[in-house]
Amino acid sequence: MLFQIQTDMDTAITAVQDSLAIVEEPMQESINLFSMAQYGGWIMIVLALMLAFAIYLFVERLVVLTKATKEDKTFMNRIRDYIKDGKMVGTALQQIAAITELAIEEADAYIKNGTLPEQEKQLVPCVAITAENVDKLSAFVYSGD
């Protein structure tokens, strides 16, 4: 029994010494990103090219979409001038003011009375804008009958 305790004690001491030896071993020097890329081989070049292309594509799309979302403040005036000058025969105008007014009235009726419109889809006629009535058009709103 005494011999077994001594053996167990020797084993424990050896285990502690081994663990201390592992801790005391010098750590490897740190590696920078460029060195790591060199260790990666040729595939790292392909990945770097793909990253560069992805960044280019992101920036290019960002620029294009930013330009596309800018509002053209003179659009309606140019359309009116084209129709007056005869460069365009006409156009059709969706009456956003009438559509908005109808939507607000229906929402108000539903909130106050719980009544739904007779039809789920409401039709609002488009207005044909020609040289005869183009003067009644102002900022996407038609003021004629």
Residue 54 inside a domain? The answer is yes
Q: Is it the case that residue 85 has pLDDT exceeding 80?
A: yes
Q: How confident is the model at residue 140 (pLDDT cuts 50, 70, 90)?
A: low
User: Does residue 86 share a domain with residue 62?
Assistant: no
Share of the chain above pLDDT 70, in %: 80
Domain that holds residue 57: 31-70
Tens digit of each residue's pLDDT (9 = 90 or more) over 64-73: 998 888 877 7
Residue 92 inside a domain? The answer is yes
For 118, what's the count of Cα atoms within 13 Å in the CB-facing half-sphere?
1
Total number of domains constituting the chain: 2
Residue 37 inside a domain? The answer is yes
CA–centroid distance for 15 within its chain: 58
CA–centroid distance for 21 within its chain: 54
Higher per-residue pLDDT: 103 or 72 = 103
